[in-house]
Chains A and B, each alone.
Chain A
Amino acid sequence: MTAMNRLFLLAGLALLIAGCGNGGGSRDPAAAGQKVYRHSMDQAPVSIDPLQGATVYSNFVILNVYDTLYSYRYLARPYELTTNLATSMPQVSEDGLTYTISIRPGVHFVDDEAFPDGAGREVTADDFVYSMKRHFDPNFISQGAWVWQGRIRGLDEWKEAGSNYAVEIPGLKAIDPHTIQIVLNKPFPQLVHTLTMGFSAVVPREAVEHYGKEFSIRPVGSGPFRLERFDTARAVLVKNPRYRGEPVDLAALGYDASLHDGLGLEAIEGRTPPFVDRVDINFVTEDAARWNSFSKGNEIQFAKIPTEQFDAVLSSKTPPTMRPELVDRYNMLDLVAPEVIFNTFNMDFEEFGYSDDPEREARNHALRCAMVKAFDWEQRSERFYNGIAKIFPGIIPPAVPEYDPDMSRESVTRDLEAARKLLADAGWTPENLPELTYGVAASVKQRQLFEQFRGFMTEIGYPAEKIILKQYATFGDISKAWKLSQLPFITKSWGLDYPDAENVLQLYYGPNGSPGSNDANFANAEYDRLYEQSAVMQPGLERTTIYRKMNQILVDSCVSMMGLSRTNLLMWHDDVIAYPDRNIVGGFWLKYVDLREQSGS
C-alpha cells in the first residue's frame, strides 16, 4: 500500500468514526436497566426557547424542561387549571386587575455550566419577571408577545423606553423572592391560562446570556426533565434528579375510574414523578415510517394513527373501535382536536366583502351565503378526515365550554337549491361572478382540497375557470400573503391556545385586522362591542351568552365557511401507563408516564 493510499484510507476511517459518534449520549440506556419511554411526534420542533414556543411540537418539549406557574390537571375533562410552580391559584384583587402569585421555594434549575459554579440555583420570582420581559425585548424574536401585548401595566412602555432590564415595570414585579405581582391594564380573565403556555416558562438569565442564540437548543430549566440531545430526528430527555416531584394524588389529577379504567394509571398513585429515566421523542414526519416503527414492538411506543392505517386498526369508525386482535397489545384514544378548520373570505376585497355601494354589499352577502351553503362539510370530513371529524356551526369548537351543541346547523348543512336561489335573486350569473383566488401552501393534499372546493362551487354554477389556485412554496410565503391581505379567500386552521372561546372569537375582532390575526378583516361594530364587553368578564353564563351572540353574528354575515375539528386517533403500547392527550394540556402529562415491568427494552 502506497503512502497516498494509506492517507486516503485513514481519512475515510476518520470520517466514518466521526459519523458514528452521536453527540455525547450513552450506550443503550434500556439495556442498562433504565426506564425509557419512546414517544413520537409528526413534526420536529425548531426551537426550544420559550420565546419561540408557538407550535405544539416546541411547546411539548418546553413544558417538560421548563416550569410554568400553572398547568392543567392531567386527567380532568373539561380542562381544569391547576398549580405547577405556583403554590396556589392567584389572589386576584376585587377589580380583577392585580394578581398576586406565590411560587414554591426550594425549586432549582438543573445544573449547568451557565451558572457560576455549575450548580443550578434556586428559581425566584425575578426569573419569572425576566422571562416575561424577554418577550418585549427587541433584541429577541418572540412569537408569544401578542398574548400579553397591551395587557400588563407598563410592559409595552418598558419596551418603547428601550427594554432596560434594570427598570422596574409597575405591572410586573417580584415583591419578594417567592412572590410575583401582575397588574393589568384592564381585566384579562384568560391570564392564568396564558401562564400555562410554554411562552410563560421560567428561564434563568445566566443561561440566556451564556448561550446567546444557542439558548434555543440548550434549555436550562427546572422542569421534570433535562434535555440531553436535540436534532432533526429526535429529542432525548433525561430525568431531572432535582425535580420537586410531589406524590401523585389521582383524584386531584382528575382520575375517573369509569373513563380511565384499564390504562393502568392506578399504579402511579402515591408515587413521585417523573417515573421514567429517559424519554426519546422521535420526530417522524412520514406516516409509513412512523407506523412501521410503532408496530415493530421495540421502537416507538406511541403514535398518531396514519389515515391509511385506519382500516387495519379499526373495526368501526363511529365510535372509533380498535380491532379485537389489537386490544391486548395496544391502547387507543380518540380525541377531538381543540381547533377550528375553516375557510374565510377576506372582507377587504370588494369582489366578495365590504363595498361602499350598499347594493353591491348586499349582493356580496348573498354570494358569500350561497357559497357557504354550497360547501359540503360532510364530504370534506369523509374524504380527508376518515368521516370522523367533528363538524360544527360557527367558530366556537366543541373543545371549549362555551360551545353550543344546540346551535342551528343550517350553516354547515349543504343546500344547493337555496344556494342557487340566493345567487339568482341577487343577480349573479356565471358571467358576472367574480374570480376567486384560492391560496394554499403547495402540497398534494392542498391541491386535492382545492379541487374538492372547486367541485362544490361548480355545482351552484360557479365557473371552474373563475376559481383559481394560487400556490405558495412555503408556509412562510402564504403567511405573508395573509398578513399583507393579498388573498381574497383563505383556508386556515387555528389551534386553540387555551380552552376559552375568546381565543377564536378574537380572530374576527376589528382591531386585529391584517397583519393581525383577523385575516378576514371582518369589521362589525356590534361584534367588536360585544368582544370588548366580554373580554373583561369572568367565565359564566352571561359571558357565554355574549360569546354565542358573536358566533351568530359571524354565521349570519357568511364571512366564513366554518367549521371542523379533526378527530385524532392515538395509539400506545400496552406496557405504557399513560393518558397521552396533548390537547391543551400540552406536554405536561409526560412526567406521569410509567412503564410496566416487562417494558423499557
Chain B
Amino acid sequence: MELLQYAIRKLVSGIPLILGVTFISFVLMVYFGPDKTYELLGKNPTQEQIEQVRHQLGYDRPFLVRYGDYLRELTTLDFGHSDSTGERVNGLLGRTIPISLALTAPGFVLGNLLGVLLALVAAYHRGGWIDKLIMGGAVVGMSISFLIAIIAFQLLFSSSYGLNMFPVRGWDVYSLSDYVRYVTVPTLATVFVALGYNTRFYRAVIVEEMTRDHVRTARAFGTPPWKLLYKNILKNSLIPIITRIMFSIPLVVISGSLLIESYFGIPGVGKVTYDAITTGDQPVLKAVVGLTAVLFVLTLLLTDILYKVVDPRVSLK
C-alpha cells in the first residue's frame, strides 16, 4: 500500500516535469528548429505552393493550439504521421525501438557488469599495479572517440582487411546465431568505450565504501576478499551504481545509437531520431521527446523503488 501511494504521488509530481520538458522542447522545435517546408517543396515553387505546404504542416496555426495538440497526442499516444516518410509515428517507433534495444542491450549490460567487476578489482588493489593497469586501460577507452572505435573494430573484425569474421552491415536476424553474428562487433565497440567511463566511476564509489568502518572491521575479522567485496562493499555501493544505470536507460531505449546504426546498417531508432532532428520532422520529434520525458519519470519512480529494495533503510514516505 505504501508503495502504491508512493508511486501515485511520484507519478503526479512528474506531470509538471513532463509539461516543462515538452513545452521547452516544443518552443525549440517551432521557433528554432529546421523549417520542413523548404525540404518538401519542388525545385521551382510559387509563393502559393509555399503557403500550401506550410498549411499542410500546420505551421500556420497558433502556437498554443499546436502545443495543445501535442499534449493530446501524448496522452492518447497517437502522434500521427511522420512529415518526412508519411509512416505512422507509432509504427515507426514500434519497429525501430526494439531493434535499437536488441542492439544496445548487450553492450549496456556488459559495459556495466564488467565495469563494476573491474572497479572492484582495481579498488581492492588500490595503488598497486593491477589498479594502475585497469585505470590506464580505462583512460585509453575514454580517450578514444566512439567513432574511431567503431571504424577500427569494423575494420579489424568485419572487413577483408582484418579478420573478416562478422558482417560489415545488416540486420537479417532470424535466429540467435544471426543475432550474435550481427551484434558482436557493435557490442565490442560499445563496451570498449563505455568500460572506461564506467570503471572509473564505479571505482571511485567503491573506494569510498572501502574506507568505511564496517569494512575495516570485516577485514579485521578475516573476511575473505570475495565476500568482503560482494557483501560488505558492493551491496553498500549499489545506490550510486543503480542511479547511474537507471538514468542511462531512457536514452538507450529512445535514442538508440546513431553511429552504430549508421556504420553497421542497422535500422534502429537512433537514425530515425537524428533524421527527425536534422529535417525538422516534428511528429517524430514530439514523440521521441515526450516519450523520453515520460520514461524519465518512470525511471525516477523505479529507481526509488530499487533504492528501497537494496537498502531497507530507505523510506518511500
Complex alpha-carbon distance, A144 and B172, angstroms: 35
Q: Is the CB of A217 within 8 A of B86?
A: yes
How many A-B contacts if CB must be within 8 Å? 185
Q: Is the CB of B267 within 8 A of A233?
A: yes
Question: Does A67 belong to the interface (CB within 8 Å)?
Answer: no
Q: Is the CB of A516 within 8 A of B35?
A: no
Partner-binding segment picked from A99-107, A280-288, A363-371, A406-414: A280-288
Supposing A19-B102, A232-B275, A296-B159 touch, asked if A476 and B56 sit within 8 A by C-beta, the answer is no
Partner-binding segment picked from B8-16, B17-25, B44-52: B44-52
Min CB distance, A11 to chain B, in Å?
A: 11
Q: A214 touches which one: B81, B151, B179 (CB < 8 A)?
A: B81
Complex alpha-carbon distance, A516 and B168, angstroms: 43
Q: Is the CB of B87 within 8 A of A515?
A: no
Q: Is the CB of B102 within 8 A of A476?
A: no
Q: How large is the interface on B (under 10, 10 to 19, 20 to 34, 35 or more residues)?
A: 35 or more
Q: Is the CB of B179 within 8 A of A286?
A: no
Q: Is the CB of B42 within 8 A of A54?
A: yes
Q: A46 touches which one: B52, B85, B95, B263 (CB < 8 A)?
A: B85
A297, closest chain B residue (CB): B160
Q: Is the CB of B37 within 8 A of A517?
A: no
Q: Is the CB of A19 within 8 A of B267?
A: no
Min CB distance, B172 to chain A, in Å?
A: 6
A14, closest chain B residue (CB): B98
0 or 1 for each of B120-137: is its CB under 8 Å from A? (1 = yes)? 000000000000000000
Q: Is the CB of B101 within 8 A of A19?
A: yes
Question: Does A200 belong to the interface (CB within 8 Å)?
Answer: no
Q: B267 touches which one: A27, A28, A52, A232 (CB < 8 A)?
A: A232
Min CB distance, A507 to chain B, in Å?
A: 9
Q: A47 touches which one: B50, B85, B159, B173 (CB < 8 A)?
A: B85
Min CB distance, B283 to chain A, in Å?
A: 10
Q: B86 touches which one: A49, A233, A293, A497 (CB < 8 A)?
A: A49
Q: Which chain B residues lie closer than 8 Å to A161 at the CB level?
A: none
Supposing A297-B160, A476-B39 touch, asked if A285 and B50 sit within 8 A by C-beta, the answer is no
Min CB distance, B249 to chain A, in Å?
A: 12
0 or 1 for each of A8-46: is its CB under 8 Å from B? (1 = yes)? 000010011011111101011000000000000000001
A299, closest chain B residue (CB): B168
B-facing residues in A212-229 (Cβ within 8 Å) = 212-217
Q: Is the CB of B160 within 8 A of A295?
A: yes
Q: Is the CB of B279 within 8 A of A15?
A: no
Q: B172 touches which one: A28, A49, A217 (CB < 8 A)?
A: A28
Complex alpha-carbon distance, A18 and B96, angstroms: 10
A29, closest chain B residue (CB): B172
Q: Is the CB of B84 within 8 A of A47?
A: yes
Complex alpha-carbon distance, A480 and B279, angstroms: 13
Question: Does B313 belong to the interface (CB within 8 Å)?
Answer: no
0 or 1 for each of B28-58: is its CB under 8 Å from A? (1 = yes)? 0000001111111111111101101100100
Q: Which of A47, A474, A480, A516: most chain B CB closer than 10 A?
A: A474
Q: Is the CB of A22 within 8 A of B169?
A: no
Complex alpha-carbon distance, A208 and B34, angstroms: 28
Q: Is the CB of B46 within 8 A of A233?
A: no
A-facing residues in B65-111 (Cβ within 8 Å) = 81, 84-88, 95-96, 98-103, 105
Q: Which chain A residues lie closer than 8 Å to B278 at the CB level?
A: 473-474
Q: Is the CB of A22 within 8 A of B171?
A: yes
Q: Which chain B residues lie closer than 8 Å to A23 at the CB level?
A: 95
Q: Which chain B residues lie closer than 8 Å to A516 at the CB level?
A: 44-46
Q: Which chain A residues lie closer than 8 Å to B96 at the CB level?
A: 231-232
Q: Is the CB of A233 within 8 A of B171?
A: yes
Question: Does A491 belong to the interface (CB within 8 Å)?
Answer: no
Supposing A217-B86, A217-B87, A515-B50 touch, asked if A479 and B164 sit within 8 A by C-beta, the answer is no
0 or 1 for each of B153-171: is its CB under 8 Å from A? (1 = yes)? 0110011110010011111
Complex alpha-carbon distance, A214 and B47, angstroms: 27
Supposing A52-B40, A479-B38 touch, asked if A12 and B179 sit within 8 A by C-beta, the answer is no
Q: Which chain B residues lie closer than 8 Å to A144 at the CB level?
A: 42
Q: Which chain B residues lie closer than 8 Å to A22 at the CB level?
A: 99, 171-174
Q: Which chain A residues lie closer than 8 Å to B272 at the CB level?
A: 232
Q: A231 touches which one: B40, B49, B267 (CB < 8 A)?
A: B267
Q: Which chain B residues lie closer than 8 Å to A142 at the CB level?
A: 42
Q: Is the CB of B267 within 8 A of A16?
A: no
A-facing residues in B242-277 (Cβ within 8 Å) = 261-267, 271-272, 275
Min CB distance, A17 to chain B, in Å?
A: 8
Q: Is the CB of A515 within 8 A of B47?
A: yes
Question: Does A145 belong to the interface (CB within 8 Å)?
Answer: yes
B-facing residues in A184-220 (Cβ within 8 Å) = 212-217
B39, closest chain A residue (CB): A476
Q: Which chain B residues lie closer than 8 Å to A517 at the CB level?
A: 43-44
Q: Which chain A residues lie closer than 8 Å to B178 at the CB level?
A: 20
Question: Does B115 belong to the interface (CB within 8 Å)?
Answer: no
Q: Which chain B residues lie closer than 8 Å to A475 at the CB level?
A: 39
Q: A15 touches which one: B85, B101, B168, B280 (CB < 8 A)?
A: B101
Q: Which of B36, B42, B102, B154: most chain A CB closer than 10 A?
A: B42
Q: Is the CB of A292 within 8 A of B38?
A: no
Min CB distance, B236 to chain A, in Å?
A: 21
Complex alpha-carbon distance, A138 and B46, angstroms: 13
Complex alpha-carbon distance, A22 and B37, angstroms: 32
Min CB distance, A62 to chain B, in Å?
A: 14
Q: Which chain B residues lie closer than 8 Å to A286 at the CB level?
A: 262-263
Question: Does A512 belong to the interface (CB within 8 Å)?
Answer: yes
Supposing A141-B56, A232-B272, A476-B37 touch, asked if A213 and B81 sit within 8 A by C-beta, the answer is yes
Question: Does A384 belong to the interface (CB within 8 Å)?
Answer: no
Min CB distance, A532 to chain B, in Å?
A: 16
Q: Which chain A residues lie closer than 8 Å to B263 at the CB level?
A: 286, 288-289
B159, closest chain A residue (CB): A292
Complex alpha-carbon distance, A149 and B46, angstroms: 10
Q: Is the CB of A27 within 8 A of B261?
A: no
Q: Which chain B residues lie closer than 8 Å to A49 at the CB level?
A: 86
Min CB distance, B9 to chain A, in Å?
A: 22
A480, closest chain B residue (CB): B38
Q: Which chain B residues lie closer than 8 Å to A52 at the CB level?
A: 40
Complex alpha-carbon distance, A477 and B266, angstroms: 28
A506, closest chain B residue (CB): B44
Complex alpha-carbon distance, A295 and B151, angstroms: 15
Supposing A213-B86, A476-B38, A483-B45 touch, asked if A289 and B154 sit within 8 A by C-beta, the answer is yes
Q: Is the CB of A476 within 8 A of B36?
A: yes
Q: Is the CB of A299 within 8 A of B169?
A: yes
Question: Does A165 belong to the interface (CB within 8 Å)?
Answer: no
Question: Does A315 belong to the interface (CB within 8 Å)?
Answer: no
Supposing A19-B101, A214-B86, A474-B280 touch, asked if A141 and B40 sit within 8 A by C-beta, the answer is yes
Q: B265 touches which one: A284, A296, A480 (CB < 8 A)?
A: A284
Supposing A25-B172, A214-B88 touch, asked if A146 and B44 sit within 8 A by C-beta, the answer is yes
Question: Does A173 belong to the interface (CB within 8 Å)?
Answer: no
Q: Is the CB of A232 within 8 A of B271?
A: yes
Question: Does A143 belong to the interface (CB within 8 Å)?
Answer: yes
B84, closest chain A residue (CB): A46
17 residue pairs A–B, Cβ–Cβ below 8 Å:
A25-B172, A27-B174, A138-B52, A214-B81, A217-B85, A232-B261, A233-B266, A284-B169, A292-B154, A292-B159, A295-B159, A299-B169, A473-B34, A476-B34, A476-B38, A483-B50, A515-B47
Closest 7 CB pairs of A and B: A19-B102, A216-B86, A231-B267, A18-B98, A19-B98, A479-B38, A213-B86
Known: A143-B41, A213-B87. 18 other contacts (CB 8 A): A15-B102, A16-B105, A20-B173, A47-B84, A47-B86, A54-B43, A145-B42, A213-B88, A233-B266, A286-B263, A292-B158, A295-B160, A296-B168, A299-B167, A476-B36, A479-B39, A483-B50, A515-B46
Which B residues contact A (CB, under 8 angstroms)? 34-47, 49-50, 52-53, 56, 81, 84-88, 95-96, 98-103, 105, 151, 154-155, 158-161, 164, 167-174, 178-179, 261-267, 271-272, 275, 278-280
